[in-house]
Chains A and B, each alone.
Chain A
């Protein structure tokens, strides 16, 4: 299935979880300093394994950067 991962259309295996998307985005999959929103809603880290991705979903994976 395809999802929009950080603005890029990406092919991800069916049944992939949020944690898989975090890995696919290039972030450390356990790491503090990473957060995820699915279609604009925050997914708590405790639900990364159980929350399935669905076709066409907008996945934003963010991490800390410098900022004022």
Chain B
């Protein structure tokens, strides 16, 4: 449930990095996701096929991003272009500070979030794994916060589980882990830590078999969610027998 809208899946698919639309379609369907990101770029007259049609026929709501923006101004304009193009006021807000790490620029990010919320957007910001920044974004009126596990496309998983726990503890809107997932266990861990959902792209789109990895991610997210909800046993230093210690026969 994000901004009053209910989704079937806790997995959001980023569509960057697929070899072609056919590969993307197979992975989106296998993932079970019903929310998918896309981006805006200058028209390429030679481009074939419509990503919008493919995503909508797969039952996905569109979540345009502001990838490639370095300033609040560019991100706000890009979100407004996306609203025109896709007739949605939802936006995955990305304002990056550096093209080597693609880490968010926190100052520009909060500025852009405030402007977009005031302009009526439903804002889902890609953010650092910083609890204070996450709080600022929630206070700005964002519909979710989306901390990174590690840099975009790095596949390093969750670098700071402690910070992620703090963000989960304090946040009253959905927390969606965005970026850094490499394989299924990373997604499961994020859900076990209390995230409400996962957004991933490269882990699936650049896998050798994207559809199969998408299926794995679907199961991983469900596994982590259920494990969290089921209440895990505490960690112990020593063993605790699961078989009764009473009534053991004397055999020697």
Residue of A35, A42, A45, A66 with most partner-chain B CB within 10 A: A66
Query: Given that A32-B52, A33-B85, A42-B80 are known contacts, is A64 also in contact with B42, CB under 8 Å in the complex?
Result: no
Point out the residues of chain B lying under 8 angstroms from A25, CB to CB. 42-43, 45
10 A-B interface contacts by CB (under 8 A): A32-B87, A35-B82, A63-B40, A64-B39, A65-B38, A65-B39, A65-B40, A65-B47, A67-B37, A67-B38
Identify which of A7, A35, A44, A68 contacts B14 (C-beta below 8 A).
A68
Interface of B is mostly: mixed
A60 B86 Cβ-Cβ under 8 A: no
Whether the Cβ atoms of A64 and B45 lie closer than 8 Å is no
Residues in chain A near residue B65, CB distance under 8 A: 67-68
Please give, as numbers and ranges, the residues of chain B lying within 8 Å of A34 by CB-CB distance: 43, 85
Closest A residue to B21 by CB, please name it.
A66
Please provide the chain A residues from 3 to 40 with a CB less than 8 Å away from any CB of chain B in the complex. Answer: 6-7, 25-27, 32-37, 40
C-alpha spacing A23/B24, complex, angstroms: 28
Listed in ascending order, the chain B residues whose CB lies under 8 Å from chain A are: 14-18, 21, 24, 37-45, 47, 50-52, 64-65, 67, 77, 80-82, 84-87, 152-153, 201-202
- Binary per-residue interface labels of chain A (45-68) against chain B in the complex, 1 for a CB within 8 Å, 0 otherwise: 100000000000000111111111
| Cβ–Cβ contact A62 & B81, under 8 A | yes
Give the CA-CA distance A41 to B76 in the complex, in Å: 10
Q: How far is the CA of A36 from the CA of B64 in the complex (A)?
A: 15
> Taking A42-B80, A64-B39 as contacts, is the C-beta distance between A35 and B15 under 8 angstroms?
no
Whether B50 and A68, one on each chain, are in contact in the complex, defined by CB atoms closer than 8 angstroms, is no
Is the beta-carbon distance between A63 and B43 smaller than 8 angstroms? yes
Q: What is the bound-complex CA distance between A27 and B152, given in angstroms?
A: 30
Report whether B77 and A64 are in contact in the complex, using a CB–CB cutoff of 8 Å. Answer: no
Tell me whether A32 and B85 are in contact in the complex, defined as CB-CB below 8 angstroms, given that A25-B43, A64-B52, A65-B38 are known contacts.
yes
A27 to chain B, nearest CB (A): 4
Given contacts A26-B45, A62-B85, contact A68 B17 (CB under 8 A): yes
Q: With both chains docked as a complex, state the minimum distance between the C-beta of B29 and any C-beta of chain A, in angstroms.
A: 16
